[in-house]
Amino acid sequence: VFLPGDIKTFATNPDQTRLFYIYPVQSGVVGINHEKATGKKTQIFSSLFHEWRVAWPSEKTITLTTLPSARVFGYMYAIDSTTGEMRKIIGKILGLTALMSPDAKTILLESSTEGNINTSFYNVLTKESVRSPVNTFPEKCIWNNVGTDVFCTVPSQIYNADYPDSWYQGLVSFNDNLWKINKDGTGELLLSSQEMNEPLDGINLMLSNDQGNLFFINKKDSSLWVYDLK
């Protein structure tokens, strides 16, 4: 089954049976819910705005986040994967990047302030925030399968710069520690940068099915790493 050749971004549902992708049309972009088994395609989203980041954290919830910049307000929306109903979750945050939990109840989010970053957990139901004990980017984190903790590579030092722009552009690189952080705002250092045999700037984190191994890419050289959590 061939998909459009100009797909801008996509995500799969948790059990890998469906694909949601966004591609450009004359009036903007549209979002398609594609069933892998049958090939059925249903349009559930359209927008005049082109720049979106897509995730599918829970079966009924697809998240759309505007692409971030330190000088632009960011917004995050949720789409019902069946009906296409769309609602705003959070917005008007400079440099917003965000990662929703598998139960769709908590968001790990980062904002940019005066050359630095702030990381917190946002409760979707109560609309209350809890500060993270350390600051990092959601792109350097992964939720566990029950949505209580995140595993993150965390910069040991954050230099003054426009975030996330300077990091995306490669103007800034980090030496990371490895943390386990609970959504209640507590955390545990698993591995310090001094204990690693070479500098790591971790991205694209992924947990094994048994939650026993943490995989990530070192942004410095694109090498693959694994950390045993058992």
Percent of the chain with pLDDT over 70: 100
Mean pLDDT of 108-118: 94
Q: What is the pLDDT of residues 10-45, one digit of tens each?
A: 999 999 999 999 999 999 999 999 999 999 999 999
Q: Using CB atoms within 10 Å of the CB of residue 112, give its burial: 0 to 12 exposed, 13 to 18 middle, 19+ buried.
A: buried
**In angstroms, what CA-CA distances link 9 with 29, 47, 50?**
11, 14, 10
> Can you tell me whether residue 140 is helix, strand or coil?
helix
Closest to 116 measured CA to CA, from 137, 146, 100: 137
Q: Has residue 114 got a pLDDT over 90?
A: no
The H-or-E segment that residue 226 falls in is: strand 223-228
Q: Has residue 4 got a pLDDT over 90?
A: no
For the chain, the C-alpha Rg in angstroms (whole number) is: 18
Mean pLDDT of 147-162: 96
